[in-house]
Chain A
Amino acid sequence: MLKATLVLSDGLVFEGESFGFSGETAGEVVFNTSMTGYQEILTDPSYTGQIVAMTYTQMGNYGVNPEDIESKGGPKVEGFIVKENFDYHSNWRSKGSLDSYLKDHGITGIQGIDTRALTSHLRDNGSMMGIIATGETNAKDLLKKIKAHAGIAGVDLVKDVSTKSDYRWNEKLWEWGKTKQTGRHLYQIVDRAKPKVVVYDFGVKFNILRNLFNTGFDITVVPAKTSAEDVLGMSPDGIFLSNGPGDPEAVTYAISNVRKLIGKKPIFGICLGHQIIGLALGGKTYKLKFGHHGGNHPVKDLESGKVEITSQNHNYCVDVDSLKGKVELTHVNLYDNTAEGMRHNDYPLFSVQYHPEAGPGPNDSMYLFKRFMDMVEKNV
């Protein structure tokens, strides 16, 4: 098997074997603790700029299929790190192997390294830049290269992953035996047309759109740079701000557009959308040491007192204290007590840091889409 090397910016070198595309790739190395859902993770646009290391050790088991994707055009990660890629996939929906999927889409992977040691290192020292190179390479050269890399802090990654033009969405959530059919709605809308939602695509995951569809929305997705005026011109009943990659402070155009929209229409934001709302309201965001990436974090809904097991994928966080008087904290992460959700005191606006759309991860929090619908309907 072809050799591959991972070099972290602090000089740690892991030697393993190549899988996927042979080449060289750099990015911020983060670990993800989900045991299932590698295809969704690979195709999640929020991972743009990042190399993902999976803590679970057996990858590729169930292959890949055309349904479990979160974006078009293949994986969005910069690289993939696993303990073992097992190429004999077995699942009735599988249409190919993970290895060839990565090859086809030019994604470089490394396997056979001590991923637990890597995870502990990132946990203790924080996420850092890394480079994967295939074949015989000189680790010192790779270290020089990655140290010279500008990194992803302060960089607008949204512009690369957002749609170039508006489009409408008509696909429902995956359901066993019924995929790709025009589906029933989870919540019945009676006596009138579907409420219209405009989705700002900062790198939106398809499962968000599928959830909005199942909830009963008429969905139009617009590019991240669409002006507030244009959006209002579409006279939506609600506005949705999507997830997306990178540093929220770098997406200045989105912050100023959102500022203009707050109070005008009901707004729901997820992940980067949540962070942009925080910044638009004049609050602050900060970077977590190694982020939250996985499908097992407990989040408490402070109103109901109930705990949801959530899907997580973020490196940045809103400092909700900086928004005192404007918003109320609604959800808290029970692992580290970081803010996971907020609601505006005066306007129809709420947002969460985590991923109620799942894909991958638990479906515990899908009620939030219903909450958005309720808010929209109340406002109509």
Chain B
Amino acid sequence: MPPTVSTEPNQGRNQGSSPGLSAYADVTASETSLRRFLHGLPGVDQVGAEARAAQLGTRSIKTTAKAHALDLAIRMVDLTTLEGQDTPGKVRALANKALRPDPSDPTCPSVAAVCVYGDMVGEVKSVVGDRVNVAAVATAFPSGRAAMDIKLADTRDAVEAGADEIDMVIDRGAFLAGHYLQVFEEIVAVREACQRPDGTHAHLKVIMETGELQTYDNVRRASWLSMLAGGDFIKTSTGKVQPAATLPVTLIMLEAVRDFREATGVQIGVKPAGGIRTAKDAIKYLVMVNEVAGTDWLTPDWFRFGASTLLNELLMQRTKLATGRYSGPDYFTLD
């Protein structure tokens, strides 16, 4: 069963009418007020944040807990290919893998979504139908350097082609230059472009490219900015910039969605993407979700892994846990 995010628009969101969210209308009314708000958020102590992330990484997840975590992690994967060399054949193969990650084991769950460039949405859709979501990157991914009307057209194309989810990039240049309102308005506009004629909307993930934002203070500010602008998910990276997802960055984002829900009643998802390659790493992220944001986020509706090679690592560990034997990579499909 695919995550319910796109079929249940605004699930968990209290809409703009929520007294919580409307209280922030003044914040986004002007460049000055938005700047004042974002810079008024509590700072992040880098040493402390990294120590906390490392500490959570020492949790020892064994036996039944590991089995649970591996299946959950598989269900949270946005199986991704974002290459210039992607072909219809390649993405159809990936789509099949998304449906049946382990063909030899029918108990193995499907992944959450397949993530591709906008022009491949139809190909994926023709394979997965409604069984797995289709996510498309848009807005001049990965750099975000294009005119606004092109970014919006990019988005509308993907939505029309049937994308359930849109992964947009923010204009990091504008953010670093301090033009917060510009970034905010771009996200609002893309969110509108996600709207479908039937009143639902494609689920919007906002990629902050945290590797380019550099500081945790920036990550926290960008997270709040994206959430206030109407993003359904905040996402670390495109996967094209190093460093991509890290545990401390994800920690800051999980704190942000936790605090945002407390302040507004609106729940936002989190997606670390890029650089998560091992099952052990994936489990560390789940531990962090569990202990920082809480169990409400421990579903594919609210937490995703943007990854490609991670899936096979999860499958190998899953098989090893079930059979006691570690099979080589030849026992798992390439894609």
* A and B are partners in one complex rather than unrelated chains: no
- Chain A residues close to B by CB (< 8 Å): none
